[in-house]
A and B are shown apart, each in its own frame.
Chain A
Amino acid sequence: MADTSDIKKGFKMLLDGVPFAVVDHQFVKPGKGQAFIRTRIKNMMTGAVIDRTFKSGEKLDKADTEERTMQYLYPEGDARIFMDTRSYEQLSLSNEQLGENVHYLLDGTEVDVMLFEGRPIGVTPPTFVELLVTETEPGFKGDTSSNTTKPATLETGLQVNVPLFVNTGDRLKVDTRTGSYVERVKG
């Protein structure tokens, strides 16, 4: 059994059967008063972030979670199949569970799969991925400095705003934390 002294960024606890990860935490103690730990915690099943205040010393249930590096293989119906590169064990996550991350999966992409009580609940993709532009309006020749952007569709279906000089067929570096364009990749 854990208690509030174990709380730190990334600490995973079980609340009403749901795993939550600590995003931020602060010790607070009103003068002459009871001490509390104010936390911002993320529901690991839905991604929703909530605030929760614990009494200092309160007992907490640690969530039984494990992260494993796996390789994305292929889509299957409304799900995606991943494989553990050491044990060759395969498992599937639904597109719903993957959410936005479904847009960062290419054949062979390595991701961290989060398991809760042995079952997969989500993935963390690499921070940056390279994706091909499949559709965008042609840019204006020579305009490489303007701050103006235009929409582009990438090979996984991801929509990003890109500078005007980007063309269909270019490879782009995308930040998976924000889902935004970083740069055009040479070659």
Chain B
Amino acid sequence: MREPADAAVLQVLELRATLLAAIRRFFIGRDFIEVETPAIVPSPGLDLHLSAFEVRSTAGEPVGWLATSPEYQMKRLLSAGAKRIFQLCRSYRGEERGRHHEREFTMLEWYRANATSEEVIGDTEELVAFVTSALHQPAPEVQPPWQRITVDEALQLHAHLTLDSLSDDDERFFRVWAEEVQPRLGDERPVIVTDWPASMASLAQLKGNGMADRFEAFFRGVELCNGFGELTDATEQRRRFERDQAERDAAGVPVYPIDERFMEDLERGMPPSGGNALGVDRLLMLLIGAPSIQAVMPFPEERL
């Protein structure tokens, strides 16, 4: 008989199981159905700063890529008529390794047909409060409603810069965001950041004010989720995908193909929808005060 296993690993297993069960209870209680979509996909997403693992057969034939998120396939399910769907799955990003990044991580993604991003923000707030109590974490600060702030306001507050002054320099925007703004977001309570530049949300619709209908939640300086009022205009979607491809080409990074089945379904029609993608490992890390996402995974790469 071997010695009892590492107590810290066992505790992580129990906390994760409790969190996953609570997430499922939350969505099932709201008439969502749980779905599964493939890990190997024909296009991993075209955002400029996204890197994916290519999958090849034993004979060396290209098969596809590991999904960086299940977004395209879940939206195809909306086109097929699904109303409320959620998924807990592994997603994969190349070149992302750090205290808040792991190349393989657990994603929670959900969509509501005939809904706006506002309703999905509401889901997010209530989900976090629900799972926090399921984990028996005393965290009154996560109770809804959360504070709201626009990207422009966040920049002015924490970096004394306006979005306008950074509008022609994405790299500078991200540098300022990473150094000055994000570390200070959601210091005491989670905060929802809205009104992102249109160039930073390829799959979101535009709001009346010309900004992307995109939101992100931050808690203690960590990005927790990214949600959209989804773009349903197929012509506009193709134009943006082609722009993304041109940007990738210019930057000398692999140019991934457009998912044509996704485009066909979009052309046939997708209802106006809201969706959100949330990092489950980061959520658990934040709720139990762990120092890294690796600390809440039984087998992060460094221990694999």
Contact = CB atoms under 8 A, between A and B. Distances in A.
A27 B171 CA distance: 16
Interface in A33-66: 33-36, 38, 51, 53, 55-56
Contact of B175 (A26, A34, A51): A34
A26 to B, nearest CB: 6
A28 B98 contact: yes
Given A35-B49, A55-B171, A28 B178 contact: yes
B95 A35 contact: yes
Contacts of A55: 171
Contacts of A28: 98, 100, 178, 182
A118 interface: no
B171 A53 contact: no
A35 B226 contact: no
Nearest to A32: B200
Interface in B135-178: 170-171, 173-175, 177-178
B71 interface: no
Nearest to B172: A34
Contacts of A36: 174-175, 178-179
A30 B174 contact: yes
Interface residues of B, number: 23
Interface string A101-130: 000000000000000000000000000000
Most buried by B among A27, A30, A38, A56: A30
A29 B101 contact: yes
Contacts of B101: 27, 29
A27 B96 contact: yes
B178 A32 contact: no
Contacts of B171: 34, 55
Contacts of B96: 27, 29, 35
A187 interface: no
B179 A53 contact: yes
B223 interface: yes
A26 B76 CA distance: 36
A26 B222 CA distance: 13
B47 A30 contact: no
A69 B80 CA distance: 71
B254 to A, nearest CB: 14
A35 B179 CA distance: 12
B99 A30 contact: no
B98 A26 contact: yes
A31 interface: yes
Contacts of A34: 49, 170-171, 174-175
Interface string B65-108: 00000000000000000000000000000011111110000000
Contacts of B175: 34, 36, 53
Contact of B99 (A27, A32, A53): A27
Interface of B: 47, 49, 95-101, 170-171, 173-175, 177-179, 182, 200-201, 216, 223, 226
Interface of A: 26-36, 38, 51, 53, 55-56
